[in-house]
């Protein structure tokens, strides 16, 4: 069983109260793939420039990540620069350079056409839908991420794409923007009317909320004494969540709840260091140990 991710591989310059890095590997597909590969083999579809070297590719080696779909184009890779406030909740974008990513049109290699578990990263909703048109038959599970830019500027295209989606992952502001509802629970119910079977609301330091037609489940963020860099935490959460589900093979309530926990656990490692540095080194033993600590943290009797 494998999991296909389509998204960005980028370089980031990040500044937080704990320090800064001028150029580190990032991008939604990078975080997602490193997290999900702890559970299932990952197929990555993304685009990079000529500045993406063998040294950068080596970050994915030793993991079950297939880079056949990682295209190299003439030019420079997607670059983002940002600064976080003292409380880490507010982020200021200093620069966004799309570079080769501006012309990204995902094309699945022949070996990817049988993909049954798919996650569509934050790109144009028309391109997201084009990926689904390339695969053979109807995938078993389709997850999707989007953002306020597409909700505002490509709303009609996004709503059409959501008809083909099983799991949508967005934050609370985006949930309200998509539906026009201020109350988060009402807004979440409205999202389910647009097509997705499940909504995951990413809430940063407050964890994540899963809304299903039959139940609601919430997980906190794993408590840490120091958070060095929150960049990529949401993408890591999605990778852990989708990776666990792909391994489980179905979306039973129990599997969905466990997937939420593993998503939160993986994200807690990402924020401990800058970029993908910590995530690239974490072991399955560390993940399982923290998952058990998470269970003790949230278990109680009535």
**pLDDT band with cut points at 50, 70 and 90 for residue 86:** confident
Domains of the chain listed by start with CATH number: 3-298 (3.40.1190.20)
The per-residue DSSP string of 26-41 comes to: E-HHHHHHHHHTTTS-
CA distance 270 to 145: 19
- The pair of structure tokens assigned to 62 is 């030793």
Backbone angles phi and psi of 97, in degrees to 5? -120, 105
With both helix axes pointing from N to C terminus, report the angle between 184-192 and 172-179 in degrees, rounded to the nearest 10.
Answer: 60
Within 8 A by CB and 6+ apart from 250, the residues are none
What pLDDT, on a 0 to 100 scale, did the predictor assign at position 137?
Answer: 92
Least confident interval from 79-93, 117-131, 282-296: 79-93
Of 168, 167, 201, 205, which is closest to residue 184 (Cα–Cα)?
201
Q: Which two tokens stand for residue 25?
A: 């590997």
> What does the pLDDT read at residue 62?
87
* Confidence at 205, pLDDT banded by 50, 70, 90: confident
Is residue 88 predicted with pLDDT exceeding 90? no
Cβ neighbour number for residue 67 with a 10 Å cutoff:
17
What pLDDT, on the 0 to 100 scale, is given for residue 226? Answer: 86
Would you state the pLDDT for residue 98?
A: 96
> Has residue 21 got a pLDDT over 90?
yes
């Amino acid at each position: 069983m494998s999991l296909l991710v389509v998204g960005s591989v980028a370089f980031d310059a990040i500044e937080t109260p704990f320090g800064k890095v001028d150029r580190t590997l990032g991008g939604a597909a990078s975080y997602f793939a490193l997290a999900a590969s702890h559970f299932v083999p990952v197929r990555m579809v993304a685009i990079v420039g000529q500045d993406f070297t063998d040294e950068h590719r080596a970050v994915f080696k030793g993991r079950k990540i297939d880079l056949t779909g990682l295209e190299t184009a003439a030019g420079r890779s997607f670059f983002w620069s940002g600064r976080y406030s003292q409380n880490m909740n507010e982020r200021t974008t200093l620069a966004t350079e799309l570079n080769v990513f501006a012309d990204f049109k995902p094309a699945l290699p022949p070996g990817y056409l049988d993909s049954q578990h798919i996650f569509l990263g934050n790109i144009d909703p028309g391109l997201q839908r084009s990926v689904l048109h390339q695969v053979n038959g109807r995938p078993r599970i389709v997850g999707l991420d989007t953002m306020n830019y597409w909700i505002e500027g490509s709303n009609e295209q996004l709503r059409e794409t959501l008809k083909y989606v099983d799991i949508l992952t967005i934050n609370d502001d985006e949930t309200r923007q998509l539906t026009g509802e201020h109350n988060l629970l009402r807004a979440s119910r409205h999202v389910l009317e647009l097509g997705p079977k499940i909504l995951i609301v990413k809430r940063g330091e407050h964890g994540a909320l899963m809304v299903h037609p039959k139940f609601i489940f919430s997980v906190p963020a794993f408590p840490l004494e120091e958070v060095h860099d929150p960049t990529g935490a949401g993408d890591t959460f999605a990778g852990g969540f989708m990776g666990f589900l792909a391994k489980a093979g179905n979306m039973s309530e129990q599997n969905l709840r466990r997937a939420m926990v593993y998503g939160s656990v993986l994200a807690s490692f990402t924020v401990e260091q800058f970029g993908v540095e910590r995530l690239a080194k974490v072991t399955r033993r560390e993940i399982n140990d923290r998952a058990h600590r998470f269970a003790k943290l949230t278990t109680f009797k009535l």
